[in-house]
Amino acid sequence: MKKIWILARMTFRETVRRRIVLTGLVLGILFLVVYSVGFGLIFTQISRETAAEATAFARVAQNEMSNFLLLAGLYAVTFLAVAMGALLSADTLAGEISSGTIQTIVTKPLRRSDVVLGKWLAFAGLLGLYLLLMSGGTVLSVYFQSGYLPRNLLAGLLLIYLEALLVMTFSLACSSAIPTLATGAMVFGLYGLAFIGGWIEQIGAIFNNQTVIQVGIATSLLFPTEAIWRRATFEMQTALGAVLQMTPFVTLSVPNLFMVVYAVLYLLVALAAAIRIFQKRDI
């Protein structure tokens, strides 16, 4: 276990020095600045328009708008975290194998499973810090300007983290078997497929078409990222918004807790596959 933590620290430091992390950090801070300014302008306008109304109505309108804008911001944060996780892990094994640098690691008294687990822990920690900065900045921006906090915030943010971890782990598993570009194509292709499948399921729920809903669920089983995001929005959306279906983030076909458990098992299987493939691979 000690070797895994040492390798994790080394991988973490090495990853932080890479330009992709610096680029992601700069773009993330820029996003937070633009988002905060945009939210402030919109919330000020809404407050002006509801100032003449009854206090209760004004507060409800402000809360609904704040919830919509917060979920929109977190949706962007989720995509940035998913992209960061995929890009970090896509090249870590495939790139080192193709360049030959992996031989300087595996020739030391380290098991190949230690290498994979150490890298996974480093990327998981980095993703956690990145999401803490981005999602925390988004939530605090909304709170300081409007005083609004969504319900079940912690559960929603943990689900977003699970989605990012799932993509990162799957990318790591692909990286242990195929080249970097093929890994990127595989991960983002499945992510796009899951996105389309999620909307198909939502449309099926609107028209109460069980066949269409089942197609969407089947797609979620193939890659459950969109299902986890929709569960996160369900946890954080307002009760009134859910009833009136006021925003595009309202979840009509709600993924149940089984899908969350399935996503965790999917992650563990992907991690086990990464270890198994890397152990068998000729480098």
Task: From 185, 160, 152, 156, select the one nearest 170 (Cα to Cα).
Answer: 185
What does the pLDDT read at residue 132? 95
What does the pLDDT read at residue 106? 64
What does the pLDDT read at residue 246? 66
pTM, rounded to two decimals: 0.93
What does the pLDDT read at residue 60? 80
What does the pLDDT read at residue 263? 97
What does the pLDDT read at residue 252? 79
Low-confidence ranges of the chain (pLDDT < 50): none
Q: DSSP state, 111?
A: -
